[in-house]
Structure formats: C-alpha cells, structure tokens
Amino acid sequence: MPINKISDSFADAVADIPSGASIMIGGFGGAGGQPTRLMMALRDLGVGDLTIIGNVAGISKTTGYGWPDHLDPIDQGMFFESGQATKITCSFPVPGTTNPLSEIERAWREGRAEVDIVPQGTLIERIRSAGAGVPAFYTPTGVGTPVAEGKEHRDFDGRTYLLETALSADYALIRAQKADTRGNLQYTGTSRAFNPAMATAAKVTIVEVDEIVEVGGIDPERVETLSTYVNRIVQREAGDPLP
Amino acid sequence: MPINKISDSFADAVADIPSGASIMIGGFGGAGGQPTRLMMALRDLGVGDLTIIGNVAGISKTTGYGWPDHLDPIDQGMFFESGQATKITCSFPVPGTTNPLSEIERAWREGRAEVDIVPQGTLIERIRSAGAGVPAFYTPTGVGTPVAEGKEHRDFDGRTYLLETALSADYALIRAQKADTRGNLQYTGTSRAFNPAMATAAKVTIVEVDEIVEVGGIDPERVETLSTYVNRIVQREAGDPLP
Amino acid sequence: MSISGSTSGTNSGNPAGNDPAPRLDRAAVAKRAARDLVDGSTVNLGIGIPALCADFLPDGVELLYHAENGILGFKELSAPGEGDPNLMDAGGKFPKLVPGMAFFDSVESFNLIRGGHIDVTVLGALQVSRTGDLANWIIPKRGIGSIGGAMDLAANAKRVVIAMEHTARGDMPKIVEECTFPLTAPGCVDEIITDIAVIKIDRASGRMILRETAPGWSFDDVQALTEATLVVDGEIVVMS
Amino acid sequence: MSISGSTSGTNSGNPAGNDPAPRLDRAAVAKRAARDLVDGSTVNLGIGIPALCADFLPDGVELLYHAENGILGFKELSAPGEGDPNLMDAGGKFPKLVPGMAFFDSVESFNLIRGGHIDVTVLGALQVSRTGDLANWIIPKRGIGSIGGAMDLAANAKRVVIAMEHTARGDMPKIVEECTFPLTAPGCVDEIITDIAVIKIDRASGRMILRETAPGWSFDDVQALTEATLVVDGEIVVMS
C-alpha cells in the first residue's frame, strides 16, 4: 500500500514548516492557481524568518490584480504584514504608481524585508532547473541591466548570456484543481503557471485541490504533475467561496 | 486570414529540403510517434549529405523494437541504407549483440557515416534548450565517461557537471495524432517523446497527423505543441495501415 | 508585462501649451501601432497603450495573442463580474474562452519568449535611447520596481515596438541619447510609435530615423521634444 | 535502458564445472532484487534480469514504474498482438492501459531522472568496480554502443542496484578492481545482486562488502570469481 499523502486539514499539512524555511508559493499572481488556503494556514501557524519565492507577488490586495471584483483579494503580502517573511524572491512585487503601497514594498521601505527581483523567465527557468537536476544555465535575459551585476557573462555564437543558477526551496505550496489519491495532479486553464515547476523543486510539495479522486480518476493524458513530486494533498471544503 | 499551413501531400511537405540539411526526426524509437510517412517522402526525395538527429535510431528493422509483430518495421536506418545520411546524433543506434547489424552500424563500420552518441537526457535537454533560447546548461550526466571528453567541467555545490550546448536543426519531422488548422497539436499516449521539443528547435517544423480538425477541435488543455512552432501539417490517408 | 503602462500614463500632456497641433490620443497611438502587426503573428502586448492595439486591428488581420501567464490565442475580455479566475491574462484581467486557445505553464510560456518565437511585442517605456536601449521597469527614485516578463520580452522578441506618449510629465524627453534609468534590455527597440511621431531605430548605424509625424507637427517640432538626435532618411509622412 | 541486458545474457554459466553448488537462475536473481524494493517507490528497471523484478514483488508492495519514453505507473504487458504502438515502454514493449498512468514527453521524463526523483534503478552491467563505477553501454571491441537513458539513470537515481550474472563468458570477472570498459557513471552503484552473491558497495570507504551468498557458496568461492577484493562486515547470510 503506497504512503497516504492526504492531509486532513490545511493546518495539518503545513504543521511541520519551521521558522527560517524557504517557501515557494505557486500560481502566477491573482486568485487563479494561488494556494490561498495553504497560505492562510501558514500565516496562522505563525512561524517566522521565512523566505518566500513567488512571481507576481503581493499586488492584488491594493490593485485587485487577478481577483474577481466581488472578492477582497488575498496575496503573498500577508506574510510581510504579519512580519513572518524577511525575504522574497519574485518578478513583480511593486504595483503601478497610482496604487497604494503594497505590503511588500512597505516592508522593504521600512527595512523589514529583502526583495530580490528576478526576470520572470529567469525565475521560472531557475525553479525548473532545480527540479530537473540542472545546476545552472545561460540566458540572454538581463544582459546589460542591473540584473546582470556580479554574474558571469559568456558569449555563444556572438551573443552574450548570463549564467543563472537553480533555485530550490524547502517547501512548495501549490494549487491544482484535481488530485488522485496517489498524488497525480490536473490543473485548469491558466492556473498552471508556476505550480508544476515548483512541485518539482522543493523538498516537500504540498498541494491544495478542489477535488481528490481515486486512482484512475484523472485522464493519463492530463496528469500535469506526476505523483512522484507530490508529498501532501489537502482538499478544500465543498463550496469554498474563495477561488 | 492566417497562413495556410496544410500541405497536400507528404512529398510537397518535404520538397524544399536541400542536400546538406540537418533533420530532427521525432518519436522515441519504434512505430508510435515516428513520422514514418514523412521519412518515406524524404527518402523518396533523394537529397543527400543529411545529418539526422534522432533518439533510439535504426534498431527496429533488425530487432522489431517498438513495432507490432505483424508489421515490417521501418526506422531511421533507411537514410543510411539509401546513402542519403552521412551523420547521426542519437542515443541508441546499436542493437544487442544477438541481433544482426543495423543499417546505421553497418554504415559506421564501412566509414560511410559518423555516429555521435549522446546520453538520452542530455540529448533531449539540448534540443529543448535550442527551442527555449538557452545556449548551454550544466548536467551531471556523463561525468567520468567518454561523453565528457573535451567538455568543460565545473563544480556546483561540490558536485561536478558538464557544460552541454543547445542542439537545433534546419527541419524537424514530427508526428502527432491531431492538429487544428492553425497548427496546434495533440499527442496520444507515449507518442510524445521527442516530438514536442523538436517542434520548438528547428527552423521549419513539419508534422504528420492522423486528423486535421477546425480551430476549436482540440481542448485548450490538450494543446501539447503550440501552433507558433508549427510550419506545415500533412494529414495521413484514412485507414493508413502503418501505425 | 511591465509597469510602464501605468507610469507612462502619468504624463499630463502639454502644460506649456506651445504644441503646434494636438497630440494624438492613446487610442490613435494604439491604432497606428496596430497597423504594422502582420496577420498570423504571435504577439505579446504590454499593458497600457500597447494593450489597446487589439481594438484596432486592420480588417482581415488575426493575431495570436500570448500572455506570460500561459495562454495563447485569447481575444476579448469577459464582461465585468463574469470572468473566471482560472482564465486570466498577464495583466490580471479575465478573457473569454474562445476556440483555438491553448493553456500551458510558465516554463513553456517563457520558452516561447526566450526562444525567440514571439514575432512582435509592443511595450510601453520610460526611456528609449538612440541606439534602442529600453528602460521600462523601474523609476530610480522609487528604489524598487517590477520586472515581470519585460526583460525576457525586450531581449528576445523578434521585433520590439514601443507605443507610448512622446514625453513624460512636464515634457521631459523619454527618447534620449542615453538612458539614465536602469535598462530593461540594451539595443532591443526596433520602432517607437508616440502621440506625435513614428521613429525607426536603425541599430546597425545607431541612427533614429523620423518616419512619420502627427498632423501639424514638423521634424523640428518633434526634435524639440526629443533629446536624441533624429535624422531623415526618405520621406516623412503624416501619421494616420 | 542499456544494452547490458542482452550482452550479460551471453554468459554461458560454468563451463569448467567447478562450482561448489548451482548458481541461481535469472528469475531467482530478479526475485532477490525485488525484495529490497520499497512500497510506493518510483522505480526504473533496465532490460534483462532487472525487468524480471516486476514479476516477483513481495505481497503488498506496489511500485510506480517509470520508463524513459514518457510513462509512469505501467504494469503488465499487453497480450502478444494486442499492443498499442502509442503505449510503449522503453524496452519497445507494449504495456496495458491501467488506472493511474501518466504520459509525458522526454523533457519531463529526464527531468524526473536527472532531477534525482527516481528512488531506485535496477540495471544490468558489463563491469562494476570496487568503488561502484559502472560500465554497461559499450563493449570496447565493438567500437560503438548505445547509451540510451543508462548514463542519466546511473548518475542520478537515488539508489543504483545492479542485477546480473556474476561472471561473463568463460567465468571472466565482471566485478573488478577497476573497470577496463568505458564507464556509464563513476561511483554510482550501491548494491550488486548476482546469481551467487549480494554485495554492498560502501562508497565512502571504497569497500565491497559481501552480504549474502547463494546456497552452497562460501566467501572464498565468491571471491574466486570476483576480481575486486571483497570484505566481510557483519554476518554473511544465505540468499533466498
């Protein structure tokens, strides 16, 4: 009998996350694909000194980015508002000038948080590389910009590239629509985003899903994250009003 | 009105391939996923000095590898039997000792062909990298073996890796089950293999499919190769007896 | 996606009132940019004026829109209140489900960009230099900015077009000899379409060639609002 | 997948007839190797003896079989003549469709391998050295060989087990001080299971520890057919 990967509650699923952990948070930014219930459980757990790895991060609360109009947006800024996070690596933490400051920008201005801003394609490729056993790769993105500072430059066929290294984490909190009891995952629409790659790049991958089905309940052509990558699955309550 | 990508025949689809071209041939090895009709059209075209890029290559004819028992296997050896190919880059060109020589091994022994044998994971990652704009990456595979000769070695976190470079081609001949008229592709079962990555890594990608459907005829969740990568599509005749 | 859409939107026009003729509105700039988009192309539009291009495509032109979050082939947005959070574009809006769409993850999305498979990207800018350097992700005095997909798009799309207002607040030039803002990518811009001009960048020769001016605007009028030296190479036509 | 399955199959037993007792047959070797496979593991089995492990899993043990061509969760093969060419394993055979399977492309398949997500791989070998170097892809005198997925698996699986006949044709030792054949990966083998012994490789100390012998075989009997120096560390038990 394979290991039981199903956690009874969001609180149980994150209970062993210690202070000082690095945490990938899936999705793109916005409600779809964000593991919102797992994030709330981690906030409630109260551990501190966290390093967050996200993408578009913390701008929904002040801009409404990616959230339906009738809901109050929830975003990664919660860990900076609570003081739990001291660092974030992401691609888009700052909203436009016409918006109020985000929690992340406020924490950065007040010296409470380090913010490491990475080009989105480099960020996802670094995460993918960690899962794929590639310690480093070259990319053309960022050459001639502040992103290139201190990095190795190298020419291939007359063009200059930067060396970028794999980015892993202790935990990945991700969101899928369907899991089978073995841990195979299926996503819907644009909710894939950073979720599949993050699932491969963390020591422990925890998944929030709408539905857990028996083995065989996912079309073999639609397994978008292999069960091998998944450690824990939590099913949302039926009718959860959050996206 | 978008460009018409549909070719009327396999011969038309390959007609502009010149002598000296490099050609990726999709699939894994075996009947499933192999663009068999496109390969036959290229053989009939008769151009020479070809460089082939494949995976398990040319062993089906003598071993039956990956072919149903009732059919005579067709494989990449055809281009070495015909004398059209002078080089192959692949991972598995030599059958076991109990089998007759393959066309590729015979061509190699007779000095008619160069055979470049690459670990399978390195081969697919090199092809993927070419499509993804990554000129080079580090891999642990091959360190301490003949594959490492002449390559840059570099340590990351105490482990040694090899630098491997992107591998592109002039043409990719690939196989899918379904295309829409725009060029989105869907695969069945294990026929994906090298096809999706090769589609991204060639200047011209030509696809052999069982069925061409209208735009909208493929589930948006099942577009496994994006239309942007596809240049030409040819539909097989209904009831084609080849897999 | 870059923040330039919202920041370039802070330009308040021409307070001194010495323009020779009206500047084009945002829609007209988008319409002019849309005219160059080639049927069947794979296109990524930034937020702000670039996103408006989709409303002004010439008849018979159909584009394949890509957004960084993993969608190709979307068209119009859902009605307010009807969007699906799992069907989002990179600007955080909710397009409708239409035939021929494709969903994929961020790895694939940036393979498409980094691999040079995007035919055209239309982006906003804070500054563009004479040699095509682009700055559109951070306002230095703010000290922190958002890169998003802008660096990947600017460095790797086959063609980079900037659609923006010609000047910043107080008619500060945005088209400059050298960018003073941190770059998004060096030497990447092919063409600039603004509310008073169309400028081609010949990167090989390092020249900015003025191709078109808004009705009532002369070469000298445009040059006066442009820090970079403009040149003429062929006829200058009136923007339409 | 490596060629070792077919090549190690050329061993013709013990022509000199001086074995102290029968060697185990291929099924028994596979059965012994299968006993160490942990329930729920993601496992890749090479062709030959390794592939036979699947027939001898202990009760209650369920494994997730991976094959390089892009399949996870397959079980038994289809009946002869009934296979689907689009449902193949890496050995070119046609498994049945079973619930819980997953199909994917070769990029993903080797992410799984190279990324260290395969719990165990069981492979054949031409030679294994005292320090765990593995040679299983080319016979030098042939001059050409097939690598397939063998180098990725050997270098990156969490645990590498070799299941093979103890000696090659004419009782030539396959377990050697130093491999003379070109390597598949250096220092990768954790354990060797043969038709006369189970040997653990303690890579940290460079020692080959004899753990088990076939019924009727002593330490000295096994050592006589092993070029590498074997040591004892704890009890030697009888293989079963």
DSSP string, B211-231: EEE-TT-S-GGG--B-GGG--
Pure H helices in A163-213: 195-201
Residue-level pLDDT at C16: 56
Distance CA(B178)–CA(B181), nearest Å, equals 10
Residues 203..222 of A with a Cβ closer than 8 Å to B: which?
220-222
User: How far away is chain A from the Cα of C63, in angstroms, using its nearest Cα?
Assistant: 19
ipTM: 0.96
What would the two tokens of residue C107 be? 């790895």
Q: How many CB atoms lie within 10 A of CB D222?
A: 23
Is residue B226 situated within a structural domain?
yes
How far from the centroid of its chain's Cα atoms is residue C45's Cα?
Answer: 7
What would the two tokens of residue C22 be? 């009206």
Q: Is C110 helix (H, G, I), strand (E, B) or coil?
A: helix
Looking at residues B60-69, what average pLDDT do you find? Answer: 95
Q: A55: closest CA among A2, A127, A156, A154?
A: A127
Going from the C-alpha of B207 to that of each of B187, B192, B200, C118, the distances in angstroms are 11, 12, 12, 20
Q: Phi/psi at A23 (nearest 5 deg)?
A: -130, 120
Q: C70: closest CA among A92, A117, A167, B223?
A: B223
How far from the centroid of its chain's Cα atoms is residue A5's Cα?
Answer: 20
Residue-level pLDDT at D14: 55
Question: Cβ of A165 and B156 within 8 Å?
Answer: yes
Buried b / exposed e over D14-35, threshold 16 CB at 10 Å, is beeeebeeebbebebbbbbbbb
Nearest chain B residue to C61 by CA distance is: B1
What would the two tokens of residue C78 be? 């859902």
Nearest chain C residue to A176 by CA distance is: C86
Residue-level pLDDT at D167: 98
Distance CA(B104)–CA(B86), nearest Å, equals 10
Residue-level pLDDT at A91: 98
Q: Is C158 helix (H, G, I), strand (E, B) or coil?
A: coil
Question: Cβ of D117 and A216 within 8 Å?
Answer: no
Q: How many CB atoms lie within 10 A of CB C44?
A: 26
Residue-level pLDDT at D16: 57
Model confidence at B96, pLDDT cuts 50, 70, 90, reads confident
pLDDT tens, N- to C-terminus, chain D (240 residues): 444 433 344 444 555 578 999 999 999 999 999 999 999 999 999 999 999 999 999 999 999 999 999 999 999 899 998 999 999 999 999 999 999 999 999 999 999 999 999 999 999 999 999 999 999 999 999 999 999 999 999 999 999 999 999 999 999 999 999 999 999 999 999 999 999 999 999 999 999 999 999 999 999 999 999 999 999 999 999 998
Strands (E) across chain A are located at 22-25, 50-53, 85-90, 114-117, 136-139, 153-156, 159-165, 169-175, 178-180, 185-186, 202-209, 211-213, 232-235
Residue-level pLDDT at A64: 95
First to last CA, chain C: 27
Question: A120-132 and C106-114 helices cross at what angle (nearest 10)?
Answer: 120
Distance CA(C178)–CA(C112), nearest Å, equals 30
Q: C225: closest CA among C21, C3, C10, C9?
A: C21
The residue assigned the tokens 């888009």 is: A92
Catalytic residues of D: 68
User: For the segment B182-233, what is each residue's pLDDT rounded down to a tens digit?
Assistant: 999 999 999 999 999 999 999 999 999 999 999 999 999 999 999 999 999 9
Nearest chain A residue to D156 by CA distance is: A133
A228: CATH:
3.40.1080.10
Residues 29..58 of B with a Cβ closer than 8 Å to D: which?
29-33, 55-56
Q: What is the DSSP string of C36-104?
A: TPPTT-EEEE-SSHHHHGGGGPPTT---EEEETTTEES--SBPPTT---TTS--TTS--BPP-TT-EE-
Residues 180..239 of A with a Cβ closer than 8 Å to D: which?
180, 182, 184, 200, 214-216, 220-221, 223, 226-229
Q: What is the pTM of this model?
A: 0.97
Question: Cβ of C106 and A105 within 8 Å?
Answer: no
Count of structural domains within chain B? 1
Distance CA(C122)–CA(B76), nearest Å, equals 43
Point out which residues pair with A181 in neighbouring strands: none
Of B125, B134, B159, the CB nearest to A138: B134
Q: How many CB atoms lie within 10 A of CB D160?
A: 27
Residue-level pLDDT at D149: 98
Question: Cβ of D62 and A2 within 8 Å?
Answer: yes
Taking the Cβ of residue B165 and every Cβ of chain D, the question of whether any pair is shorter than 8 Å is answered with no
What would the two tokens of residue D83 be? 């296979």
Is residue A62 situated within a structural domain?
yes
**Do B227 and B186 meet the contact criterion of CB atoms below 8 Å apart?**
no
Distance CA(D45)–CA(D119), nearest Å, equals 11
Point out which residues pair with A22 in neighbouring strands: A51
Residues in D closer than 8 angstroms to A184, CB to CB, are: 100, 102
β B159-165/B153-156 pair status: antiparallel
Q: Is B54 helix (H, G, I), strand (E, B) or coil?
A: coil
Is residue B177 situated within a structural domain?
yes
CB-based burial of residue B213 (10 Å sphere; 0-12 exposed, 13-18 middle, 19+ buried)?
middle
Distance CA(C4)–CA(C173), nearest Å, equals 15
Distance CA(B145)–CA(B200), nearest Å, equals 30
Residue-level pLDDT at C59: 92
Mutate to test the interface with D, among B120, B187, B223 (most CBs of D within 10 A): B120
Let me know how long chain A is. 243
Q: What is the identity of the amino acid at B79?
A: F
For chain D, list residues whose CB is within 8 angstroms of any CB belonging to chain A: 39-40, 42, 60, 62, 64, 66, 72-73, 97, 99-104, 108, 110-117, 156
User: For the segment A95-104, what is each residue's pLDDT rounded down to a tens digit?
Assistant: 887 788 999 9
How far from the centroid of its chain's Cα atoms is residue B157's Cα?
Answer: 35
Is residue A215 situated within a structural domain?
yes
- Element holding B104 (H helix, E strand): helix B103-109
Looking at residues A113-140, what average pLDDT do you find? Answer: 98
Let me know how long chain D is. 240
User: Which domain does A180 fall in, by range?
Assistant: 10-124+168-235
CB-based burial of residue D231 (10 Å sphere; 0-12 exposed, 13-18 middle, 19+ buried)?
middle
How far from the centroid of its chain's Cα atoms is residue B11's Cα?
Answer: 18
Mutate to test the interface with D, among A3, A134, A228, A230 (most CBs of D within 10 A): A228
Of C85, C110, C151, the CB nearest to A32: C85
Catalytic residue among C68, C165, C191, C212: C68
Residue A42 predicted with pLDDT over 90: yes
Taking the Cβ of residue A129 and every Cβ of chain D, the question of whether any pair is shorter than 8 Å is answered with no
Q: What is the identity of the amino acid at A237?
A: E
Distance CA(D130)–CA(A170), nearest Å, equals 35
Distance CA(C31)–CA(D165), nearest Å, equals 74
Residue-level pLDDT at D15: 52
- pLDDT-flagged residues of chain C (< 50): 1-12
Model confidence at A2, pLDDT cuts 50, 70, 90, reads low
Close Cβ partners of C135 (under 8 Å, ≥ 6 residues apart): C125, C126, C127, C128, C179, C180, C181, C182, C183, C184
Distance CA(A184)–CA(A215), nearest Å, equals 8
Total CB pairs under 8 A between chain A and D: 69
Is residue B16 situated within a structural domain?
yes
According to CATH, the topology of domain C2-59+119-238 is Glutaconate Coenzyme A-transferase (3.40.1080)
Distance CA(A171)–CA(A38), nearest Å, equals 12
